[in-house]
A = this chain, B = another copy of it.
């Protein structure tokens, strides 16, 4: 106590400071210092400015330049050695740290590069990116109006706008970091609506439950079933037609089958934009099956939801307005950047809150001086929740609904162009006519052309895509994914989604596959 008092009085007399105003460390009784050096904001901001310059140069200018590589491939052992990742007792110098920023940028994949076609996200939108920098700097959590006033109101407006694109005048919703957990929200709400006693008493209070999705639906439904206490075995996989779309008649059959096996169906997860083929399940007909059986209809439109912005193509999602809930990831086709995923809900009875609330007193005090219905955090299954609405909002303000629509339409147009160009070339074979912007294709190297009937054709063909992939990665010329699917051997999934592309990149893609695969 004496030391602390001394410190305080010293301070008051002005003796706790150096001549230049920097506080002098003074020992407390426990050997710690009060008024030890404070973090130097000016120095910190100087570092940030320098880092920003590097980010602009290396990650943005070079990272979007088609003359530069998409990735600077290094094998794991080599990369470990280059990066010197180990964390040590002492800190590093300003210059060393800037070199680290540069290295991280250099050896990371440039997902904003016009020749990055590897995932269901790509490209960069600078307004969204500015929104993300601002979000990071403001560093708050989206649970109460008191700590996130702007973002609570903003989330409300953005959700309402997205809901109206689905076709709902009212409803609810929430931003969540990723489509998988958005799908989990659907499962939890559907289960709670059907069997509210589950919240308190667990699944043992109800019969065995059953969920339905298509064979080409996203694997997150199965992960969810296992995570949420339903079980993989209680996910019924509905057959798809030749283009990967759920067959409503088979759904109906499987619902009957599940009932006969003693399970209680409660949710169907249809897909708008499947992960591999980009197929759209026939929502209207699925909605009728759900109505017939009284089931919750969820639409996993994580990938395809953005098509709702296009007057020309939104018919692919006809019937979505009949759903109970929708997952939609603007971070995919709309280029907001990771992560920006919404769970949208038709319900207007506060189901989200009733199902998830835990009424934590330290956050959701009921005696606050403002409308506590704005403290939306109890709708969520997590506690702290990052702000994900600003990037989408700012980008939307910048280009308008019209600008977003143009981007979606443009992706369809380029897909069409690519498909038609492919058909003119000998070595390419489509897996299917695309419904969306996923173009699934085999490249048949000259050595395999006309050999379709030979014994080892499939085996040889299955090795083509992995081989070409390795070559393009090592060269860094572009990135595109491949996979097998059901009876189909490895084929490429080319994704045409970024508004940054031009005809040139589409042609390059075809030329480069030919170059990399011609000797296989």
What 0/1 pattern do residues 294 to 314 of A give for CB contact below 8 A with B? 000000000000000000000
Contacts A126-B47, A133-B52, A204-B208 given; indicate if A502 touches B87 (C-beta within 8 A).
no
Residue of B nearest to A374 (CB): B76
Contacts A150-B83, A222-B358 given; indicate if A402 touches B137 (C-beta within 8 A).
no
A154 touches B83 (CB 8 A): yes
Taking CB atoms, residues of chain B closer than 8 Å to A11 are: 503-504
Contacts A89-B400, A399-B91 given; indicate if A140 touches B414 (C-beta within 8 A).
no
What distance in Å separates the Cβ of A45 from its nearest Cβ neighbour in chain B?
6
Q: Which of B146, B220, B371, B500 contacts A473 (CB 8 A)?
A: B146
Within 8 A of B (CB), among A136-187: 136-141, 145-151, 153-154, 157-158, 161, 177-181, 184
Taking CB atoms, residues of chain B closer than 8 Å to A358 are: 219, 222-223
A470 lies within 8 A of chain B by Cβ: yes
Q: How far is the CA of A413 from the CA of B33 in the complex (A)?
A: 8
What is the size, in residues, of chain A's interface with B at 8 Å between Cβ atoms?
189
A130 lies within 8 A of chain B by Cβ: yes
Residue of B nearest to A463 (CB): B367
What distance in Å separates the Cβ of A109 from its nearest Cβ neighbour in chain B?
5
Q: How far is the CA of A377 from the CA of B24 in the complex (A)?
A: 49
Taking CB atoms, residues of chain B closer than 8 Å to A20 are: none
- The stretch of A242-250, A379-387, A428-436 that contacts the partner chain: A379-387
Copies in the complex: 2
B417 touches A145 (CB 8 A): no
A205 lies within 8 A of chain B by Cβ: yes
B100 touches A394 (CB 8 A): yes
Taking CB atoms, residues of chain B closer than 8 Å to A181 are: 181, 381-382
Contacts A48-B56, A92-B397 given; indicate if A361 touches B231 (C-beta within 8 A).
no
Give 9 nearest A-B pairs by CB, closest first. Answer: A229-B229, A202-B231, A44-B126, A32-B413, A51-B130, A369-B470, A180-B382, A362-B483, A219-B358
What are 25 of the A-B contact pairs (CB < 8 Å)? A4-B416, A23-B502, A28-B416, A30-B416, A33-B410, A38-B499, A87-B393, A89-B400, A92-B397, A107-B150, A108-B150, A109-B147, A133-B136, A178-B385, A179-B384, A184-B227, A202-B233, A203-B204, A219-B359, A222-B358, A224-B381, A226-B356, A365-B482, A369-B469, A369-B473
